[in-house]
Amino acid sequence: MRRAALRLCTLSKGLLAPSRGLTQEPQNLENVFHISEVRDKLREIVGASTNWRDHVKAMEERKLLHGFLAKSQKGLPPRTMKDSYIEVLLPLGSQPELREKYLTVQNTVRFGRILEDLDSLGVLICYMHNKIHSAKMSPLSIVTALVDKIDMCKKSLSPEQDIKFSGHVSWVGKTSMEVKMHMFQLHDNEFSPVLDATFVMVARDSENKGPAFVNPLTVESPEEEELFRQGELNKGRRVAFSSTSLLKMAPTAEERTTIHEMFLSTLDPKTISFRSRVLPPNAVWMENSKLKSLDICHPQERNIFNRIFGGFLMRKAYELGWATACNFGGSRPFIVAVDDIMFQKPVEVGSLLFLSAQVCFTQGNYIQVRVHSEVASLQDKEHMTTNVFHFTFMSEKEVPLVFPRTYGESMLYLDGQRHFKSMSAPVTLKMDYVVEP
């Protein structure tokens, strides 16, 4: 009954209007979901149990799916972008009982919850692309490898209006897929764009131990050709960005000059010494901009493969980053962009999750926050890095400059500057409703 009601609701509210980036005709109602159905659908696809005690048995059953894995990509039928296209409704307006999960104390929408939904949506989109009609469960284990970019289109997010997500696979390699997702909110009986997101997902075998091939992608129009070409360019940009990482190469001549000029501006003119450092007016030492948190990773936060849900990690990192920007700027910050979140290591259930957030670059009203995530088991005290998150916030007023004191902090400053400059375009704030933790 709820499914039928959803169909009626989506048609009446214009949910099935074509999304930017892909014209979806004819519409397939089987690819329209209520937000509460997404995780249930994922559990059904991989055969995951809702009971934690059954997870060992469920993973043993997945071993039997190895026979469905392709030996090469050539053995898999090509798919189109429309094959993976889905739409998901988050009816905050028409189903008020959903609001509390997404509500902040200021009566705005929690962006951390939106990150969780985007992560689940990206995985489901990839399973739709690789759907095997002859098998009840998928032999693939699809996980998030990278959040390439999330750009906010505007800040007018109301907790009292319906939200729509849409997305599809836009580029495919041999074992990886790029997913384009969009978020809209109902305004004057039409869905207006709120954000654009690009995720990179990877396919693993049925036990999540090694890579697996994915279905190739065919394009059917010049518009789709451009999306695929952009996917190729994104891959090249990521490779180039990684090759010039400050962990591998020295800063450029311009960046070295920037750091040296900042260093000179902090020398005490009264003592002709490199050791005597003073802050310029309206400035803060980078080391004084930190906030930290610790979480125990309980089974409740597990994903369908019994590791900690990537969306949960993003939400916790974002909320700490938001608090750090708020504490630094002295006013409520607004999220502008998220980029380059690399999932380097899975987080096991029962781990201790250590998050450390730091302001690493500022300019005008903008605050660039870096959140470092690492885990340790209860038995082993060794800490392992799992993620590094990059968030760009905008404050209501101009914020202090942040100054590095050490060489390591100088590298963090330059890295933050690089991420800030990669932002698509400056954002104009709309103050009706804003997205917050």
pLDDT tens track for 63-94 = 778 878 889 999 899 999 999 999 999 999 99
- Ranges 50-59, 180-189, 272-281: which has the least confidence: 50-59
Go through the domains of the chain in sequence order and give each one's CATH number.
29-244 (3.10.129.10), 247-423 (3.10.129.10)
pTM of the model: 0.88
Strand, helix or coil for residue 417: helix
Which residue, 169, 149, 117, 170, is CA-closest to 341? 149
Per-residue pLDDT averaged across 199-207, rounded?
A: 92
Q: Is the N-terminal amide bond of 26 cis, ω within 30° of 0?
A: yes
Distance from CA of residue 275 to its chain's centroid? 41
- Categorise residue 21: left if φ over 0, alpha if ψ from -120 to 50, beta otherwise: left
Residue-level pLDDT at 223 = 95
pLDDT tens track for 212-254 = 999 999 999 999 999 999 999 999 988 888 888 888 899 999 9
| Angstrom distance (rounded) from CA 158 to CA 79 | 36
pLDDT value at 429 more than 70: no
Q: What percent of the chain has pLDDT over 70?
A: 88
| Angstrom distance (rounded) from CA 81 to CA 150 | 20
Residue-level pLDDT at 316 = 95
